[in-house]
Chain A
Amino acid sequence: MTHALLEPWRPTRDDPWDRDAAAHLLRRAGFGASPATLARALADGPEATLERLFAPRGHEPKLFAGIESLLATGNAELLQAWWLALLLGDGDPLGERVTLFWHDHFATSIAKVDDVRLMHRQNRTLREHALGDFRELLHAVAKDPAMLTWLDGNENRRGHPNENFARELLELFALGIGSYDEHDIREAARAFTGWSVASREFVARADAHDSGTKTLFGRSGEFDGDDALELVLAHPECPRFVARRLHEEFVGPEPDRATIDALAKELVERDWSIGRTLSTLLASKLFFARSARRARIASPIEFVVGTALALDLFPAPVEAANAAARMGQALFRPPSVKGWDGGRAWINAGTWLERVNVGLDAAETIRSGEKSFAPEPDDSSSAARLVLERLVGGADDEFANTIVAAAARASSVRDALADSVALVLTAPEYHLS
């Protein structure tokens, strides 16, 4: 039986499929939407919109065409810009959203890996498996050259076990603290001995492998790395751990136990398919609940990409990447193997000033005429209403009224547009996702 909260949400007159509901779905299952995408979602309804998220038009092929020459430069900033170009291109919002989620989950930083080819390859692996079988994803990540470099696979040899990967696998990737002990970490590390990188490729070095008997979660055998991964996946906490992470990312930070149990059950019943589990979650009452909407603090990538899409701004990808980095989210460079803490940790005086400054700069591109709105609004008041509709769904409350009143004092329509954009983008309300 499906958990009541995971049942599909059906719009009603009191709880309709409106701009607010559609924008919520497009923000959480992607990074927001252009005015055209939002209008189409509104017209099509939730089911068709979800279907399109799962069968997107895809990325422009040219975004992949130049990748080899990009990688040849060895420049990490260009790699960040490349991913931003995919995000801003909006060809596969859900796929990118989930890829970024896995990047945060299996957080690996170029700060230590120091090789754009390996980072790009890991990104490709995450993208390929993003909506696939979690078990395959875990195996792929464990053999990923960037991950092996990041967590010292080459240093993990028979007689000299290095626990780095084994510890993070249990703690951060698959189980969570409390589901294993220090002994399990040591034994798992022995199972992974020999998993190394040579010439940027995964290699299982037999001479470095400890083939002795290990005992992991109370079971004994001459386990190798694949065996250890299977034992981790068979641990009862594993699906719950993945379910909790999915809930935190797509619904909100404090799931109750029953919800997690139901979502974990869903994951296992759907053969560990992240895509099929998400198609249940993103259509559910839980997901569309009013309390879930605009309840989390937007990540820097959500803020930067969402603003660009809603205003049709088309910033240079490298600038967008740098802006997100200054706000605390440098792609390919998470702060630690724990990934980004997210939530309130996104915000401090430094990152808030960056957000405000980026918002103010966007407003100035409109004031200078570098960016224009078509069709141009007739007067200051409709200018403010247009900006509000694009950025916050056209609310008619005290917040909206304050912006409209401020725009009315502007000396031109263009100033009214710019001032409204400046005010909305620097208002705390806008930074809730």
Chain B
Amino acid sequence: MRTTRRTFLIGGLAVTAAVPLAARGARASSSDGDRVLVVLQLGGGNDALNMVVPERQDAYYRLRPTLALARRCLHRLDDDFGLHPNMGELAKLFAEGRASLVHGVGYPSPNRSHFRAMEIWHTADPEHPPGTRGWLGRIADELAVRAPHSLPALHVGDGDLPLALRAERTFTPTLRAKNGLELRSSAARTHGVRERLLEGRARGELDFLRTAARTTYAAAERMSALAARPSKVEYPSSQLAERLQLVAKLIAGGFGTRLFHVELSGFDTHARQAPVHAALLGELANALAAFQRDLDAQGVGARVTTMAFSEFGRRVEENGSKGTDHGAAAPVLFVGGGLRAGLHGTPPDLSKLVEGDIAFGTDFRELYAALERDWLGVSPSTAARPFALFA
């Protein structure tokens, strides 16, 4: 891509960087400047086979004597697949054409380590050890060039900043509290000098910390105003719902963030999986549905796409502890206004397993490419052909 050196500001700090000159993606339109991507990470390895159930394949019932879900309890998606009984709210979104999924997403030589698999998804690179920048961090860097004073990405959760969001030029905050970020009132006394101590050039970790501090103080001020606003719909009471509710307030309130990373963890169900997994899927479906309806009610539903992924699916055959071990390919779920609705990709064929796992049919980087080119209008992170996600 052609670039030009240009100096711009990040949180008041002058930075020189390469700025893309080339035309953006073919489908990028004037409206892509306010489109939002919410990435919802299902941490631990979601047993997607019990989420999107291949109800017509005998092997499913044979390999899962205690975990298989009865066909009559499922929410029908198409002739071959049904959604988990607890995901009725999500099934409605499918019926309305506001949800889609891509079957069999993965990559060659799948890795079954949580950490390595997550790194691969977070960096869009299965081949090399991870650097310090994630795939969303790279996009955030590019977006920061276009809108220097915005916060292009936010992390909503209580863990560390995920690798996906680590960037070189931008600093991504984590929102833990229900209302985002709040500073003690006694800060006012020393405010001016504290700001002055953040000025000046530094290198390495000191520069990183100064940028972090500046970004934090600015965001805290704007956010508290937006978080105080009421929502348009009732949200279920769950941690995921609370997090998505804050995301909806920030999107609808014009906070300007384009990328959100939200996590729901606990999917590492090695033993006695059924009740835990059912509760997680219920939390997921109900929170996602409330989120989308809230966005729709506020008139911004069409410019938000939510992608739910997990680092891997789980092994098709259940283990001896009424659980499942680490597997490979799995569907990726999408919710939003501009999607090509329905079920896409290569449906799993349980008679053609690879080392006991579902073979992958779509490389996850094709999904990233579609989100980058066709949704956000940013340069692609890989050479992958964009998947036809959007209508």
Contact = CB atoms under 8 A, between A and B. Distances in A.
A423 B190 contact: yes
Q: For the side of the interface on B, what is the size category?
A: 35 or more
Interface in A325-351: 326, 328, 335-338, 340-341, 344-351
A338 B130 CA distance: 15
Contacts of A351: 174
A402 B196 contact: yes
B59 interface: no
Interface in B156-210: 159-161, 166, 171-177, 181-184, 186-187, 189-190, 193-194, 196-198, 200, 202, 204-206, 208-210
Contacts of A363: 186
Contacts of A406: 190, 193
Interface stretch (A39-47, A157-165, A233-241, A255-263): A157-165
Nearest to B175: A350
B186 A422 contact: yes
Contacts of B182: 353
Contacts of B231: none
A177 interface: yes
Contacts of A155: 270-271, 319-321, 323
Interface stretch (B64-72, B141-149, B213-221, B367-375): B213-221
A328 B209 CA distance: 16
* SS class, residues of chain A in contact with chain B: helix
Interface residues of A, number: 54
A357 interface: yes
A295 B215 CA distance: 22
A336 B193 contact: no
Contact of A402 (B112, B155, B197): B197
B340 interface: no
A49 to B, nearest CB: 26
A425 to B, nearest CB: 10
A318 interface: no
B188 to A, nearest CB: 10
B366 interface: no
Interface in A361-403: 361, 363-364, 398-399, 402-403
A115 interface: no
A428 B204 contact: no
18 contacts: A152-B321, A155-B320, A160-B321, A162-B319, A171-B115, A172-B115, A297-B205, A326-B176, A341-B160, A346-B160, A348-B171, A349-B173, A350-B177, A422-B186, A422-B190, A426-B187, A426-B190, A429-B197
Given A171-B115, A345-B160, A427-B197, 12 more contacts: A155-B270, A344-B132, A345-B161, A347-B209, A348-B155, A348-B171, A348-B212, A349-B175, A353-B216, A426-B194, A428-B209, A429-B197
Interface of A: 152, 155, 157, 159-160, 162-164, 167, 171-172, 177, 182, 295-297, 326, 328, 335-338, 340-341, 344-353, 356-357, 360-361, 363-364, 398-399, 402-403, 406, 419, 422-423, 426-429, 431-432
